[in-house]
Amino acid sequence: MSYALKQVILVTVALFQFHLLTDFFILTVFACANYFALFIVSFAWPVISAFLAKRTRSCYGLCQPN
């Protein structure tokens, strides 16, 4: 093989590996964002909604009067 062809193959492999690395990083960030959104919906949202209901004191007829 010629030297130029070897260099082209090496650069192509290096760019492909960099592409895989950036894809892995982006997917990891999205996965973390999904888990954070799931945490907000499942754990923090009842606290937020209870706080808002207590603040506005409106239960829309769904809760018993104290």
Tokens of 11: 């650069």
Eight-state DSSP code of residue 40:
I
11-50: pLDDT as tens digits: 888 888 888 888 888 888 888 888 888 887 788 878 888 8
Number of domains in the chain: 1
Q: Which domain holds residue 50?
A: 1-66
Q: Are 53 and 59 spatial neighbours (Cβ–Cβ below 8 Å)? A: yes
pTM of the model: 0.41
DSSP E strands in the chain: the ranges are none
10-16 long-range contacts, CB within 8 A, separation 24+ = none
pLDDT at 61 exceeding the cut of 70: no
